[in-house]
Amino acid sequence: MTDRLAQTDDRCHRLFQAGNPCSEDLEAVFRNLCQPLPASGRPRVIAQLGQSLDGRIATVTGCSRFINGEDGLTHLHRIRALCDAVVVGAGTALADNPRLTVRRVHGPQPVRVVIDRHRRVPQTHHLFTDGEAPTLRLVAGDYRAPEQLPDLEGVQEVPCLADDARLCPHTVLRVMADYGLMRVFVEGGGVTVSSFLHAGLIDSLHVLVAPMIIGSGRPAFSLPEIDQLDDALRPNARCVNLGSDMLFALDFPESGSASMPEEAGAATSAAPAGSPAAPSPRS
């Protein structure tokens, strides 16, 4: 992953040479994504959600292609190009059959990671058949850390998840670190992103808001209830008009101090069992 990081500054310069009137703001957003890794030694985590004005990422039937417009989708591909790995939950992979590759901009392909505890995603899906980028399939089982940095080719299964339908984001990040994937893009869906956010492991969150009102459907965030607004999350925010979508680039400085537990399965922060895995607009 050293080559990718060495190219980061040059790639950031190239991203906004297309004449976007908000190029300075966009440049600041991407330069922030290229900051050094957290002092804790864990991977840096970037996450995103694409939603409607009323906070929906899909209809009640799960339809989500496409809530965001062309400019929002291009922004998504830019983030992929800057990261070592792009992570999605099984629900998103199952519903959207995404490629998770870099196609709208120039840049290297990230390793694709699907959290697929019980192998719900069909073997015929793009992630397992197109050969465009390596794919890690995280499944249920006892995790054994590799003794040396593995070669990432083709499709590999990594037993590491508990069998109780609860996601432990700390486990996912420990596996990413053991595989040398230190800039991780959690692309969806809503439950997966929410579990990382609740665990305090997201450094930057990009919320792409489309000028659309769905009226009902699946919410972007699924977090524990709070009683007082003093308990609400208040990240640093920068707003950028991308054209088809409004970007809210949110930073959580305190997340950089969060570290991983000693064992991959030792963390307790997890997504609620039985939560619907809401898909997000992937391509």
The predicted-structure confidence for 36-94, as pLDDT tens digits, reads as follows: 887 778 999 999 999 999 999 999 988 888 899 999 999 999 999 999 999 999 999 99
> Is residue 269 a contact partner of residue 167, using CB atoms and an 8 Å limit?
no
- Beta strand segments in the chain, E: 44-51, 56-58, 85-89, 111-115, 135-140, 155-161, 183-188, 204-209, 218-219, 236-241, 246-251
pLDDT of residue 235: 95
pLDDT of residue 265: 43
pLDDT of residue 253: 85
pLDDT of residue 6: 45
pLDDT of residue 194: 96
pTM: 0.85
pLDDT of residue 9: 47
Q: Which residues of the chain have pLDDT under 70?
A: 1-22, 165, 255-283
